[in-house]
Amino acid sequence: MRTRLGLAAGVLAASGMLLAGCGDSGSSSGSGGAPASSAAAPSAASSSASSGGASTDASAAPAGGTADCKPVAGKELVVLTDDKKLQTVDNIVPAINAKAATPALTAALDKVSSVLTTDDLVSLNRQVSAERKTSPNVAKAYVKDKGLDSGLSGGSGSITVGAANFAENQTVAEIYAAVLDAAGFKAKTQTIGAREVYLAALEKGQIQVVPEYVGTLTEFINKAQNGPKATALASPDLDKTVAALTPLAKKVGLTIGKPAEAADQNAFAVTTAFAEANGVKTLSDLAAKCGSGLVLGGPPECPTRPFCQPGLESSYGLKFDSFTALDAGGPLTMTALKTGKVSLGLVFSSDGGLTSAS
């Protein structure tokens, strides 16, 4: 199960876990959320007092809309684009043992990154979690469909691609292995488990490649090297986060490949029916249209975390009638959205239960 970044800006737990625990973006069953319950949402000012992070001064927020945007039930969910970049980046990136990082290997993995999108991740995860296909078969079809098995050469020798123990990471590992085979390597995959275990194996050269997540990996190594209270180096800026990660990785014998557009990070979703009824595609659209009726759903910590309710209020000027405590991107949140219990819910951007990422 993947560990994720916390929602608080600069206040990341040493383990790098998301606000309410680990989450498997392919099957959200491991989110460990609290039972659903409703509570009045705290004001931006009261949230700021307990968040210890980003300011939630309502005077700095843009003016809100006037429409009454009550929840709208629907079977399909879509992520609203985080156009003001509230969330820390977590794009998929190849982490490579430096001694194994030949030009042929790096070129093969970077070719995957050049085409892999978040919508691709949503589709790949849906095929495994909902359609019950296997990660190797899903990966094989993707590689063929995208033409990733052509135009590569120069590889030789055996390569082991490690994977964490959740479906999305295993599927991407299978894609990496298939493309490395096409480049002339003899590649296989090995599911290892927790980041502490597979990164140690990667650093020692027991495995050569792992599909990683930029922001989470940055903070994991940052805290390991500089202590649990080290200033966070991951941010909503992908280039800056990669620039911070590169020297951290080098110190432990790793090379970082090209990050993909594909990201598995905190996101906020609505039903497609709600989006169409209110004409919204972005979080800024939501703030511009909706002055009342919004019900926010997410893990119990959301009202006090700057990247959740306080951030939505301060960065976007969103106003919520109430907050419903659910889980961190899991089945409670998905169900609450689909049944019209909440308008906006915290999800993971690559979850297979989404219609699309944006």
In the block, tokens 């432990």 appear at 252
Count the domains in the chain: 2
Contact 14, 228 (CB under 8 A): yes
Instruction: Based on the fold, state whether residues 207 and 270 are members of the same structural domain.
Output: no
Instruction: Based on the fold, state whether residues 101 and 49 are members of the same structural domain.
Output: no
Q: What is the average pLDDT score of the chain?
A: 86
- Amino acid 116 reads L
Q: Is residue 13 part of a domain?
A: no
Q: Is residue 50 part of a domain?
A: yes
In the block, tokens 């509570």 appear at 39
Rg (CA), the chain: 20
Instruction: Based on the fold, state whether residues 244 and 150 are members of the same structural domain.
Output: yes
Read off the pTM.
0.83
Domain boundary among 256, 277, 300: 256
Q: What distance in Å separates the CA atoms of residue 164 and residue 194, rounded to the nearest whole number?
A: 6
Of 20 and 180, more confident: 180
Q: What distance in Å separates the CA atoms of residue 179 and residue 205, rounded to the nearest whole number?
A: 20
Tokens linked to 54: 């980003």
Residue-by-residue DSSP string for 194-237: SHHHHHHHHHHTSS-EEEEEHHHHHHHHHHHHH-TTPPP---S-
Q: Is residue 166 part of a domain?
A: yes
Q: How confident is the model at residue 146 (pLDDT cuts 50, 70, 90)?
A: very high
- Residue 47, pLDDT > 50, answer no
Q: How confident is the model at residue 318 (pLDDT cuts 50, 70, 90)?
A: very high
Q: How confident is the model at residue 205 (pLDDT cuts 50, 70, 90)?
A: very high
Domain boundary among 256, 287, 304: 256
Q: What is the pLDDT of residue 355?
A: 87
Measure Cα distances from 143 to 35, 116, 129, 136, 158 in Å. Answer: 40, 10, 19, 11, 20
- Report pLDDT digits (tens) over 258-295: 999 999 999 999 999 999 999 999 999 999 999 999 99
Q: How confident is the model at residue 12 (pLDDT cuts 50, 70, 90)?
A: very low
Q: Is residue 126 part of a domain?
A: yes
Q: Please state, for a pLDDT cut of 90, what percent of the chain lies above it.
A: 79
Contact 337, 270 (CB under 8 A): yes
Q: What distance in Å separates the CA atoms of residue 238 and residue 244, rounded to the nearest whole number?
A: 10
Instruction: Based on the fold, state whether residues 113 and 237 are members of the same structural domain.
Output: yes
- Residue 29, pLDDT > 50, answer no
In the block, tokens 């495995």 appear at 207
The domain that contains 293 carries what CATH number? Answer: 3.40.190.120
Residue-by-residue DSSP string for 276-339: HHHT-SBHHHHHHHEEE--EEEE-TTGGG-TTSHHHHHHHH----SEEEE--SSSHHHHHHHHT
Instruction: Based on the fold, state whether residues 62 and 172 are members of the same structural domain.
Output: no
- Mean per-residue pLDDT, 143-165: 97
The domain that contains 170 carries what CATH number? Answer: 3.10.105
- Residue 62, pLDDT > 70, answer no
Task: Give the N- to C-terminal CA distance of the chain in Å, as an integer.
Answer: 24
Residue-number span of the structural domain to which 130 is assigned: 92-256
